[in-house]
């Protein structure tokens, strides 16, 4: 089987069922836990937008030209508070209308510990799964991505907004009382939330009250030492698949972040 790869997809189950998209095909990985898998990068990378061959992948799967012109690759995606849509300078206004000017969720997740994050409302629970969260709790809904970014900045003064990926792959995090943590955080950012609503409207930020969402991953054994595969340096990946968490395949001899290699062409060699 030959084709470019995209990020892992998952079907919500207990544990999650994972597939690896290769070209027009999907390899079911969950049923390969405990088995030897192998695949090899051909040396080709094809832009996820224009399809042209590129020597290097930018912004997880694009050629340089597309990276410079696509709104999905703009800095405001990483830093929503820098959104410049209202200035009339958005790279793709129509794309922004469907991706940024829509309801977003501000949430707490338990990955390598508790963190705050944001995502489009339609990306729940996909975003949490991609991060490898074992628990997630929506705490606010906002009108736009920019507003969600402003709320995240306020919360990030009191809590982490990044995941320690090495800790994520060394074992399961301890279960946390996310509701209690959320209550403490909400009390600390009341002034910031009031200022945001004063500027963007009383309905700009809405509080969410619900139970946290548990997520389980198909992992039989976590690595004692983290060693990463690098397709640019060594194109072949081969080993016993011990588990899958977030976007990582965990093999007995190393781990690989599949999302990092979006648009890389591989040949699937399993079962070897």
Please tell me what DSSP assigns to residue 37.
E
- Between CA 214 and CA 172 the distance in angstroms is 12
Claim to verify: residue 142 and residue 236 sit in the same structural domain:
no
Last residue of a domain, one of 52, 81, 100: 100
Q: Does the pLDDT at position 75 exceed 80?
A: yes
The candidate with the shortest Cα–Cα distance to 116, out of 149, 94, 146, is 149
Claim to verify: residue 145 and residue 106 sit in the same structural domain:
yes
Give the residue-averaged pLDDT of 6-34: 92
Question: What pLDDT sits at residue 272?
Answer: 44
Beta-carbon contacts of residue 9 (< 8 Å; ≥ 6 apart) = 18, 19, 21, 26
Range of the domain at 95: 72-100
- Between CA 49 and CA 70 the distance in angstroms is 9
Last residue of a domain, one of 178, 199, 214: 214
Claim to verify: residue 89 and residue 148 sit in the same structural domain:
no
Claim to verify: residue 150 and residue 185 sit in the same structural domain:
yes
Number of domains in the chain: 3
Q: Which residue has the tokens 């080993």?
A: 239
Q: What pLDDT digit, counting tens, does each position of 194-239 carry?
A: 999 999 999 999 999 999 999 999 999 999 889 999 999 999 999 9
Q: What pLDDT digit, counting tens, does each position of 125-173 carry?
A: 999 999 999 999 999 999 999 999 999 999 999 998 888 888 889 888 8
Claim to verify: residue 171 and residue 106 sit in the same structural domain:
yes
Claim to verify: residue 87 and residue 108 sit in the same structural domain:
no
Q: Which residue has the tokens 């698949």?
A: 241
Last residue of a domain, one of 100, 120, 152: 100
What is the percent of the chain with per-residue pLDDT over 90, rounded to a whole number?
88
- pTM of the complete model: 0.91
Whole-angstrom CA distances from 4 to 23, 129, 199, 245, 268 are: 5, 22, 45, 21, 10
Claim to verify: residue 210 and residue 106 sit in the same structural domain:
yes
Question: Cα-Cα-Cα-Cα dihedral of 216, 119, 167, 165, to 10°?
Answer: 120
Question: What pLDDT sits at residue 28?
Answer: 92
- Between CA 167 and CA 172 the distance in angstroms is 9
Claim to verify: residue 198 and residue 225 sit in the same structural domain:
no
Higher local confidence (pLDDT), 142 or 78: 142
The candidate with the shortest Cα–Cα distance to 263, out of 67, 17, 125, 12, is 67
Confidence of residue 66 (pLDDT cuts 50, 70, 90): very high
The number of residues in the chain equals 272
Claim to verify: residue 157 and residue 120 sit in the same structural domain:
yes
Claim to verify: residue 132 and residue 58 sit in the same structural domain:
no
Q: What is the mean pLDDT of the chain?
A: 93
Decide: 258 and 8 in contact? Cβ < 8 Å: yes
Question: What pLDDT sits at residue 160?
Answer: 84
Give the residue-averaged pLDDT of 57-81: 93
Claim to verify: residue 57 and residue 151 sit in the same structural domain:
no
Claim to verify: residue 191 and residue 227 sit in the same structural domain:
no
Give the residue-averaged pLDDT of 243-260: 95
Reduced 3-state DSSP string for the chain: CEEEECCCEEECCCCCEEEEEECCEEEECHHHCCCEEEEEEEEEEECCCCCCECCCCECCCECHHHHHHCHHHCHHHHCHHHCCHHHCCCCCHHHHHHHCCCCEEEEEEECCCEEEEEEEHHHCCHHHHHHCCCEEEEEEEECCHHHHHHHHHHHHCCCCCCCCHHHHCCCCCCCCCHHHHHHHHHHHCHHHHHHHHHHHCCCCEEECCCCCEECCCCECCCCCCCCECCCCCCCEEEEEEEEEECCEEEECCEEEEHHHHCCEEEEECCCC
Q: Does the pLDDT at position 271 exceed 60?
A: no
Q: Does the pLDDT at position 72 exceed 90?
A: yes
The candidate with the shortest Cα–Cα distance to 239, out of 271, 261, 267, 262, is 271
């Amino acid at each position: 089987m030959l084709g470019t790869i995209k990020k892992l997809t998952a079907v919500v189950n207990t544990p999650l069922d994972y597939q690896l998209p290769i070209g027009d095909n999907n390899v079911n990985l969950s049923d390969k836990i405990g088995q030897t898998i192998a695949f090899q990068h051909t040396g080709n990378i094809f832009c996820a937008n224009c399809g042209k061959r590129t020597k290097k992948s930018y912004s997880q799967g694009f050629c340089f030209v597309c990276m410079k012109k696509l709104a999905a690759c703009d800095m405001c995606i990483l830093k929503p508070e820098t959104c410049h849509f209202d200035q009339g300078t958005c790279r793709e206004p129509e794309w922004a209308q469907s991706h940024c000017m829509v309801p977003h969720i501000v949430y707490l997740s338990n990955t390598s510990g508790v963190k705050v994050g944001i995502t489009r409302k339609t990306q729940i629970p996909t975003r949490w799964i991609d991060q490898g969260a074992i628990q997630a709790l929506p705490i606010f809904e906002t009108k736009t991505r920019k507003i969600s970014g402003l709320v995240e900045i306020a919360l990030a003064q009191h809590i982490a907004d990044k995941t320690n990926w090495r800790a994520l792959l060394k074992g399961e995090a301890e279960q946390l009382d996310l509701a209690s943590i959320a209550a403490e955080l909400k009390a600390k950012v009341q002034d910031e939330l009031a200022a945001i609503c004063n500027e963007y409207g009383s309905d700009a930020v809405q509080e969410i009250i619900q139970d946290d969402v548990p997520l389980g991953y198909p992992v039989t054994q976590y690595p004692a030492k983290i060693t990463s595969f690098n397709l640019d340096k060594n194109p072949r990946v081969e080993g016993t698949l011990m588990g899958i968490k977030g976007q990582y395949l965990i093999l007995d001899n190393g781990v690989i972040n599949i999302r990092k290699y979006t648009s890389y062409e591989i040949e699937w060699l399993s079962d070897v």
